[in-house]
């Protein structure tokens, strides 16, 4: 591993982090890229280094956003499933819980030799993304995963390095 740059975590590290966070064995497998479309909103967590330069993004589809947040906050699965399948957006409570999820996920990028990463901003599903952030979503230095939170449902996560 080179020093001085943020590295993508291993899928096992993502699984272990999510499992510890929600207290249930989250399944993590290879997945497709999570990208926003008009009918498929995503959440985007922006991580920065100590100089406030963006050094990583965490992109989650509506399912991953709702189900990780709901599991962390011990919210009933039904409400999270309604948010995904019927409403197409997260409730304020789910956004708050998701903020905590992506804040904890910053630890995935904080490995020896890499600059410290911290959560700078969470764009909830459906929020407008600044052009520079939207442009980074297509970068090829990424880890695309499919997850399943037991009792809640499936979703997709992409970790992207600028």
- Residues 6+ away with beta carbon under 8 Å from 34: 42, 59, 60, 61, 64, 144, 156, 157, 158
**pLDDT at residue 3 above 60?**
no
pLDDT category at 1 given cuts 50, 70, 90 is very low
Query: pLDDT by residue (tens digit) across 84-140?
Result: 999 999 999 999 999 999 999 999 999 898 899 999 999 999 899 999 999 999 999
CATH entry, 11-160, from 3.20.20.140, 3.65.10.10, 3.30.70.80, 3.40.1550.10: 3.40.1550.10
Could you tell me which residues are beta bridge partners of residue 43?
60
pTM of this structure: 0.95
* Cα–Cα distance measured from residue 88 to residue 93, given in angstroms and rounded to the nearest whole number: 15
Which of 39, 34, 63, 41 has the alpha carbon at shortest distance from 128?
A: 41
């Amino acid at each position: 591993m080179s020093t001085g740059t943020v590295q993508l975590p291993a899928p096992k590290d993502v699984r272990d982090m999510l499992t510890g966070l929600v207290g249930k064995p989250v399944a993590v497998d290879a997945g497709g890229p999570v990208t926003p479309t008009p009918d498929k909103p995503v959440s985007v967590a922006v991580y920065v280094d100590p100089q406030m330069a963006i050094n990583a993004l965490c992109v989650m589809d509506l399912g991953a956003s709702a189900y990780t947040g709901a599991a962390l906050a011990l919210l009933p699965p039904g409400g999270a499933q309604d948010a995904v399948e019927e409403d197409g957006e997260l409730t304020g409570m789910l956004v708050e819980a998701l903020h905590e999820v992506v804040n904890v996920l910053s630890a995935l990028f904080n490995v020896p030799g890499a600059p410290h990463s911290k959560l700078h901003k969470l764009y909830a599903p459906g929020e407008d993304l600044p052009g520079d952030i939207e442009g980074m979503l297509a970068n090829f230095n990424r880890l695309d995963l499919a997850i399943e939170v037991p009792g809640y449902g499936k979703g997709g996560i992409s970790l992207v390095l600028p």
